[in-house]
A and B are shown apart, each in its own frame.
Chain A
Amino acid sequence: MSTPTSPHEDRMHSEEFLHTLMRRQLKLSIACAAAFLVGLIGLPLINYYQPALMATRVAGFTLSWLLLGVLCFPLVWVIAWIFIRRSIALEDDEVKSVKR
């Protein structure tokens, strides 16, 4: 810390570094959020415009009940898993880019 002018310190504190850092993180978060918002916003819309389709019975369940009550949980897990892997990789990459 006593040599704040060393090259990697400079890079770390630069406006440019913060800007790319936040942009990359936000991009990843928004991409993952979009994937699940499509489902969360889409399902009520399909229910609204295609009630007959969503009332189709699948092993006793209505299609809509099956999607909402059972299948959406695994979807959330997949998105979360992808996000965690990507964001850990992203952090490692950022550390490397500074320490280079």
Chain B
Amino acid sequence: MPTSLAFLNGVDPWIFAFSFITVAVTIWMGFRSAKTSKTASDFFVAGRSVSVGWNASAISGEYLSAASFMGVAGMVMSSGYDALWYPVCYACGYLFLLLFIAGPLRRFGAYTIPDFAEGRYDSPLFRKIAVCFVLFIGFFYTMPQMKGAGTVLAYIFPGMPYWGGVVLVGAVITLNVALGGMKGITLVQAVQYWIKLFAISVPVFVLMSVHGFYGAQLGANDGRVPSVAGEPAPIVQTIERKPLVEKAPADSPWISPFGPLTTKAAKAAGLSAEQSKPYSLLYTYSLIIALVCGTAGLPHILVRFYTNPDGVAAKRTTMWVMILIGIFYVFPPVFGVIGRNLLPDLYAATGAKGTDKIVLELPRAVGGVWGSILSGITCAGAFAAFMSTFSGLLVSMTGALAHDVYGRMLRPNATPAQRMRMFKIAAVVIGGVAIMLGTQVEQLQINFMVGQAFAIAAASYFPLLFMSVWWRGMTMVGAATGMLGGGLAALACTTITNLSDLKMVDLAAFWKANPLLRILCEQPAIWTVPLAIGLMIVVSKFTAAKVPADIRMKMLVLHAPEKLGLKQEYIQEHQAGTGH
């Protein structure tokens, strides 16, 4: 074999076949729908008429990223109980979105979050600020997707370097988005949800029937010291279990709350188990706030609420999304639990070879050709995961760049054809930057990076949306100060944490002396979200004279049932108002 094809050595044909089919079908569907999406409106929000079932599948497909598919399992395996908060809060955050934000936003009717920011405060300046945040949060969220891509390709092609996978997958998806737009990916993502659910559930059922059920597998992780005289005998071990390697956490902290993930800072500071528990509790709450509020603020998810025909449909869609993602999230932790028993060797590895690949590797434990086929299925699911999320992010970020920066700020008089061309150029530029960032993060855990993106969204978009919808006293200055204050504080914290974790800046001694600061920096939501809301209230009170004059009408549009037709009236008044 020539050296240029050396990376094909050791490739499992089944795994390769399933992955290849997933990618090929995705691209084919993207190209096919590219032919039918002609107008600019098709490109941005799919012509605003996607049915509830399709839209719910597509939102779920977009939402279940590499973090959900691979990262949750990897994190449950490496950190145990504490990692369960991730899938739970990813799902619960949706409830927040439904309760407080989905309905009003839909009634207000605008293409993007920057549209909302401008419409609510009549301020083009605020639109620019909002656009910057769409891009910021988006890039933070693309990095873990890229890590997922690199990990999967490094698994399928054992000879391929991590960066090679990132570049290959990134280029394919970028091309797909540039040619298809949102209409393309609505269809693709709806299908990808079902691929993902199939790929995560079928191997779990097969694995459980061969190696023992979820509960029994978990039961094998018994923290008690075995057979001291007079004590009851430990649970009879019927589950096959390989010895844990040295780097793996012990059973008892792994399965109990306040384990390795949340006590890391306190442990590093040399505190005892009892002393570190309050720190763990703080960490847990901060994580919950970040994930729940962050979900409600993710721009690429929010934009999809506009693709429903009306507000009732938007609510029904959210209900279905919660059911679809709730079902999905039961499965990834099972991989982590079984993986701890069957593949403890992964604890010793780092980067693309570490626990993040448990979902891909574990199905092989079934043995034989079936093991390879199942592993091929989970690889296909992983492809579906990062491809759909990355496409969604790319569309929302490209939309921000093409629709807002180009269409509104640089060239307001651009023709539709020019806008379409700009959409494609913007997709390539953003895809390129995302690939470059993705090659840098091999050492960071997928799920951890997603948590950070959520922490930034939680401190910027969530307060903005929540307060703008429910408090009429908000002014543009207040909203901008709060969003920037909270968002930048969270951004600064995550950047410091990442630089420290990647060993670019040495903060080990400082973290050791200040475990509390480390937790507040690693999980900043517990103080940045109140900071953002507080700033909004205080600054708005000081600038109360600047509350938009037609605030009552705006609030009516946000809250009154769509059947009353206030939106049309508002548009008429608004056009008359700006005409003179």
Contacts and interface: CB of A to CB of B under 8 A. Distances in A.
A62 B258 contact: no
Interface stretch (B21-29, B492-500, B552-560): B552-560
A40 B93 CA distance: 11
B561 A95 contact: yes
Interface string B561-572: 101101001001
Contact of A60 (B88, B219, B284, B556): B219
Interface residues of B, number: 60
A32 to B, nearest CB: 5
Contacts of A95: 561, 563-564
Interface string B536-580: 000000000000000011011001110110100100100000000
A67 B319 CA distance: 21
A62 B256 contact: yes
A76 B277 CA distance: 28
Given A44-B257, A60-B213, A73-B88, 13 more contacts: A13-B552, A18-B556, A22-B470, A41-B285, A44-B281, A57-B219, A58-B215, A64-B257, A65-B81, A72-B92, A73-B327, A91-B312, A94-B564
A1 to B, nearest CB: 6
B95 A48 contact: no
B525 to A, nearest CB: 14
B257 A47 contact: yes
Contacts of A58: 215
Given A33-B100, A48-B281, A18 B559 contact: yes
Nearest to B277: A48
B215 A64 contact: no
Given A76-B326, A98-B564, A88 B312 contact: yes
Nearest to B551: A18
Nearest to B333: A69
Contacts of B316: 84
The residue among B92, B281, B285 with the most chain A CB atoms within 10 A of its own CB is B92
A87 B217 CA distance: 42
A38 interface: no
A1 B566 CA distance: 10
Interface of B: 81, 84-85, 87-89, 91-92, 94-96, 98-100, 103, 213-219, 223, 235, 255-258, 277, 281, 284-285, 288, 292, 311-312, 315-316, 318-319, 322-323, 326-327, 329-330, 333, 470, 552-553, 555-556, 559-561, 563-564, 566, 569, 572
Given A40-B92, A44-B257, A80-B322, A69 B330 contact: yes
10 contacts: A36-B92, A41-B288, A54-B257, A55-B223, A64-B256, A69-B87, A69-B333, A80-B318, A95-B563, A98-B564
Shortest 3 CB-CB distances between A and B: which pairs?
A60-B215, A60-B219, A73-B326
Contacts of B322: 76-77, 80
A18 B226 CA distance: 66
Interface of A: 1, 12-13, 15, 17-18, 21-22, 25-26, 29, 32-33, 36, 40-41, 44, 47-48, 51, 54-55, 57-62, 64-65, 68-70, 72-74, 76-77, 79-81, 83-84, 87-88, 91-92, 94-95, 98
Given A18-B556, A80-B319, A40 B470 contact: no
Question: Secondary structure of the B side of the interface?
Answer: helix
A36 B95 contact: yes
Given A13-B556, A51-B256, A65 B218 contact: yes
Contacts of A41: 285, 288
Contacts of B329: 73
A76 B559 contact: no
B218 A61 contact: yes
A32 B99 CA distance: 8
A40 B561 CA distance: 31
Contact of B561 (A18, A48, A91): A91
Contacts of B103: 25, 87
B561 A94 contact: yes
Contacts of A32: 95, 99
B332 to A, nearest CB: 10
A15 B91 CA distance: 37
Given A18-B555, A22-B555, A76 B91 contact: yes
Contacts of B213: 60
Residue of A61, A69, A83, A94 with most chain B CB atoms under a 10 A cut-off: A69
B256 A79 contact: no
B84 A81 contact: no
Contact of A68 (B84, B326, B470): B84
Nearest to B330: A70
Given A40-B92, A44-B281, A62-B256, A83 B98 contact: yes
Contacts of B292: 40
Contact of A72 (B88, B214, B323, B563): B88
Contacts of B89: 40
A62 B253 CA distance: 13
Contacts of A80: 94-95, 98, 318-319, 322
Contacts of A92: 561
A60 B255 CA distance: 11
Contacts of A25: 103, 559
A97 B89 CA distance: 38
Nearest to A51: B256
A87 B315 contact: yes
Given A60-B214, A61-B215, A12 B560 contact: yes
B552 A65 contact: no
